[in-house]
Structure 1
């Protein structure tokens, strides 16, 4: 008996048991409807709980030591800033255009003993080009107004060589200003920047070079900074690469321009460089109409395609601003959610639940007030929206393209800037804040790496890390492969199996041999999905074609784009229409869900916020969609619910509608018109935002396929006819 048991042969009458993971997968597929409901509800609840799960920010890198040294910025530097401010305003009141402000900045930079040079750049013309989508070549178009005169912008750059450094690292300070129409706020920004730059030229503790970029923003802040960064990282080895005089025109005589730019010290027209950029600060003064109790600081951190700087950079700014200078720190918030009644109700329920859990166990830290939850949700929604948009919220985004951590700081005084005493106190706080941040970055022995790069902000001092906000997305995405497998295997619990595919009205019959073939089941459905995705790629390239024609109004461009897209889709259906009739709607839905889950997974790697918002729209659309003919066979209540849900999702899930709703909720519904979609699409492709590709390569095909399934078998009959 022992020999028989150990011979390794299977016992007669016993079936070999499959592996545990196979049995678990079969169980999930068999109960796909229940799994989908549970995962979607759990994912929605987890998403609403993100503000509750947010943690307080902390400085991860001990070497930063924010606030460990007493500030050196004093009232003497404030006097110097005010003096520089008055000189700029005097030059501006004289209606002098061109290089007067640049010459003034350059003269003062030379006077403090720093190196100076001027950087010329072309204004950018953002134009969609499909072959240059993920490259910066798109933004190098030169705008030539006539053959004899090409317009240029002019940046003034000062460099302080660190007395304790080896020249391998640098900190960049950026102050944008409009050289042709400079205001008091911009002049104050330049005065603050120069006073800090003058102070840093005298200190002995600098271990990193300081670069001050006075960016000429007459053609846009981002354009000036981006052009300088391109030349900084991609040097041109030409004989006249750094010279200013060739081809420059500021609506004044070229020779007179060259005379204006001559300042003390040689080499003002030779591009100079410092070390590798450790960090960059873009700061400016903004005088707001609404006055507050304290001077405020607004932080902008979002860069292209959802990139964020290292959280430690924001942490040290927040710590120094609040605990050292007494400033009120703010970040972006979605104001429409602050007044939402349903959000206040959810906050009150969570507050009540927190009190209950605290009574059960005082160690459970689930305590949040309704007001904190509402404000945290509004800030979180704003953070997700601007990351998903993929457009930088300031000129700091140009630095992130070169993997340099950078943020924009907007300083706002509580009183009018005309009051000199209040202005001096404001300058003192702002100068000490910038000095403290520079001191902390100066202490770093390596680049920022300790803290998070993937996070959402729910407050200036609270964040949600990647390990937490991945949970709602994973829960929403989990049902898709399960439902796809269930539909393919015929265990979808929806009433029709794949063995009855050819009995559907409007489908062309096939032989039993073809039905038994495993490849035939999904091949025809895959052809339909491929056809729709190919059409979506063509639609995404149409704006480049339309931009070549003299169509000016956004509404006209949008209507032409929509008409061409519909015509091309009809042509595709006439050519490949037979493929859509050879498969049932279940197989088509199975392949569509597989394609959607793959697209969302890939998008989460490029821009997670876009994938998160897309999953909230695509997942319910994919799971609930059924042919209207099938829904009419259900009971009265179920039929009404299914029809309403499918039609609502079909309207809200349409990419233009979804994009305009998001823009209206986050910004202003008054701007969300018909032509606004073309302007928003133009904004996305001109900034090379991956959201544009997601909307047209993933979301739009999924919506068209869902509409195809919703109208099945009407489309099949028309194609067959």
Structure 2
């Protein structure tokens, strides 16, 4: 409130107007901010998605995966094994299959010491196989993961996802273009197993007192560049939902999300955001309401801080990750995607990630998605200072935000010319105008 308490501004017309209409201006600015935010769901206010990382090259990859029959055989064998182990994961079968496919296969044990009851603990085992890069030196890696869900699990089964992952491992092992290691990971106990594996992989320090004893990994690959988690309950799905919300609202790089949507479109797989397909006429009023619903649903999920899948635990380690979730609910008579279509989407994803020369960094990490092909950048949500305006006396800096008026006199106030900088924003203002650029004297 330095502007209103400055003795030099007493009796000024601006301070008198602000004090006289303070409540009205505050409510008005709140309403303007809310209307502006709701309008962002319309296509005229947001932007079409694009790739910032040109090395992905998703359009140049021609799908060669033809392992649907092999995936179905793996699924039949896995279903027989689950009948023998109704409440646990068939570790021996998974380890044997990965070894037969030529992967370096290992198991990972972890223990959860329940903090609310003494002498009560839960144990679990993860199984992972590493396909070593033929054209690289294990300096980078990609993760394909799937949670195992026993028949007694309250969640939907995920056996088709594991079967598809094994079929992809067989196909990938026959190719010679891999420059990165590929880790095929099957976790137990949902996010608990994934968190234990990630902590052990990155060498986290043990807790005191220990709640999660994450154990030790026998072998590792290179630093993880990206990860894709699979949740496919059936061999035929009506559409694929790309889930990207992470722990505490963290998000993956937008290029990875765009990559999955673009490849699904190429393989004619219906894809959604928050289980909501794109509206056929997005420029109409009904299209705006549809995209607004999708936008608010995503915001509500991020506000809870709970990840929408196992992928959300990768974000805290600086790894972009998403979950590909096959959904059974769909329109009657619509086209269904098979394991062949999903396998080609994942093949294209891994081959595009194989082209990366560095970590994801060029695209956005803060964004909102009203549709599969539209995005709202952080620059559209936060305020942007307008050009200089000559409305106030010299060397006065007026920052108008919702419900507050503050002054920010920087050290170089007396050096600036008689020009006023008026910054109007919706929200908090945290920066000051930059100091003037000193010019060197001319030598005659």
Distance 1:31 1:371 in 2: 37
Distance 1:310 1:400 in 2: 10
Q: Deviations over 1:226-266 (max 9, x none)?
A: 110001111679xxxxxx9x9xxxxxxxxxxxxxxxxxxxx
Seen in structure 2, the aligned counterparts of structure 1 residues 97 and 35 have a Cα distance that, compared at 3 Å, is: closer
Pick from 226, 246, 262: which aligns with 1:279?
226
Distance 2:171 2:364 in 1: 32
Distance 2:255 2:275 in 1: 21
Kindly state the Cα deviation for residue 185 of structure 1 after the two structures are TM-superposed: 4.2
Match of 1:314 in 2: 257
* Pairing 1:387-426 to 2, within 5 Å after superposition: 387-412=302-327, 426=338
* Pairing 1:390-469 to 2, within 5 Å after superposition: 390-412=305-327, 426-469=338-381
Distance 1:382 1:452 in 2: 20
Seen in structure 2, the aligned counterparts of structure 1 residues 50 and 91 have a Cα distance that, compared at 3 Å, is: same
Seen in structure 2, the aligned counterparts of structure 1 residues 235 and 456 have a Cα distance that, compared at 3 Å, is: closer
Answer with 1 or 2: which has the greater Rg. Answer: 1
Distance 2:204 2:175 in 1: 31
* Pairing 1:533-548 to 2, within 5 Å after superposition: none
Q: Deviations over 1:1-24 (max 9, x none)?
A: xxxxxxxxxxxxxxxx958xx975
* Pairing 1:34-53 to 2, within 5 Å after superposition: 34-52=24-42, 53=45
Contact 2:114 2:122 (8 Å CA) reproduced: no
Kindly state the Cα deviation for residue 199 of structure 1 after the two structures are TM-superposed: 1.2
Normalising by structure 1, what TM-score?
0.48
| Counterpart secondary structure, 2:59 | coil
Seen in structure 2, the aligned counterparts of structure 1 residues 216 and 376 have a Cα distance that, compared at 3 Å, is: same
Q: Does residue 296 of the first structure (1) align with residue 211 of the second (2)?
A: no
Distance 1:32 1:270 in 2: 62
Distance 2:301 2:125 in 1: 30
Contact 1:159 1:274 (8 Å CA) reproduced: yes
Contact 1:334 1:381 (8 Å CA) reproduced: no
Kindly state the Cα deviation for residue 397 of structure 1 after the two structures are TM-superposed: 1.1
Pick from 69, 77, 81: which aligns with 2:61?
69
Seen in structure 2, the aligned counterparts of structure 1 residues 213 and 126 have a Cα distance that, compared at 3 Å, is: farther
Distance 1:190 1:390 in 2: 27
Match of 1:59 in 2: 51
Distance 1:334 1:43 in 2: 26
Kindly state the Cα deviation for residue 117 of structure 1 after the two structures are TM-superposed: 0.8
Higher strand share: 2
Pick from 171, 192, 209: which aligns with 2:181?
209
Q: Does residue 169 of the first structure (1) align with residue 140 of the second (2)?
A: yes
Kindly state the Cα deviation for residue 78 of structure 1 after the two structures are TM-superposed: 1.6
Kindly state the Cα deviation for residue 41 of structure 1 after the two structures are TM-superposed: 2.7
Distance 1:210 1:153 in 2: 23
Seen in structure 2, the aligned counterparts of structure 1 residues 25 and 154 have a Cα distance that, compared at 3 Å, is: farther
Kindly state the Cα deviation for residue 414 of structure 1 after the two structures are TM-superposed: 7.5
| Counterpart secondary structure, 1:51 | coil
Pick from 224, 248, 260: which aligns with 1:305?
248
Seen in structure 2, the aligned counterparts of structure 1 residues 93 and 184 have a Cα distance that, compared at 3 Å, is: farther
Distance 2:74 2:234 in 1: 19
Seen in structure 2, the aligned counterparts of structure 1 residues 333 and 27 have a Cα distance that, compared at 3 Å, is: farther
Seen in structure 2, the aligned counterparts of structure 1 residues 286 and 187 have a Cα distance that, compared at 3 Å, is: closer
| Counterpart secondary structure, 1:456 | strand
Q: Deviations over 1:299-333 (max 9, x none)?
A: 111112211111111101000001x2111111226
Which structure 1 segments of 5+ residues have no match?
A: 1-16, 128-141, 238-243, 247-268, 339-350, 352-366, 416-421, 486-599, 605-721
Q: Does residue 111 of the first structure (1) align with residue 122 of the second (2)?
A: no
Contact 2:156 2:233 (8 Å CA) reproduced: no
Distance 1:466 1:143 in 2: 46
Distance 1:432 1:334 in 2: 23
Distance 2:31 2:260 in 1: 38
* Pairing 1:60-459 to 2, within 5 Å after superposition: 60-74=52-66, 77-95=67-85, 98=88, 101-123=90-112, 125=114, 144-145=119-120, 150-179=121-150, 181=152, 185-217=157-189, 221-234=190-203, 271-287=218-234, 295-322=238-265, 324-332=266-274, 368-412=283-327, 426-459=338-371
Kindly state the Cα deviation for residue 94 of structure 1 after the two structures are TM-superposed: 3.1
Higher helix share: 1
Seen in structure 2, the aligned counterparts of structure 1 residues 601 and 36 have a Cα distance that, compared at 3 Å, is: closer
Q: Deviations over 1:413-466 (max 9, x none)?
A: 689xxxxxx99x701001000111111111111111111111111011111110
Seen in structure 2, the aligned counterparts of structure 1 residues 156 and 91 have a Cα distance that, compared at 3 Å, is: same
Distance 1:124 1:408 in 2: 28
Seen in structure 2, the aligned counterparts of structure 1 residues 57 and 124 have a Cα distance that, compared at 3 Å, is: farther
Distance 1:235 1:166 in 2: 24
Contact 1:169 1:209 (8 Å CA) reproduced: yes
Q: Deviations over 1:128-165 (max 9, x none)?
A: xxxxxxxxxxxxxx9843xxxx5311100100111112
Distance 2:59 2:242 in 1: 19
Contact 2:243 2:309 (8 Å CA) reproduced: yes
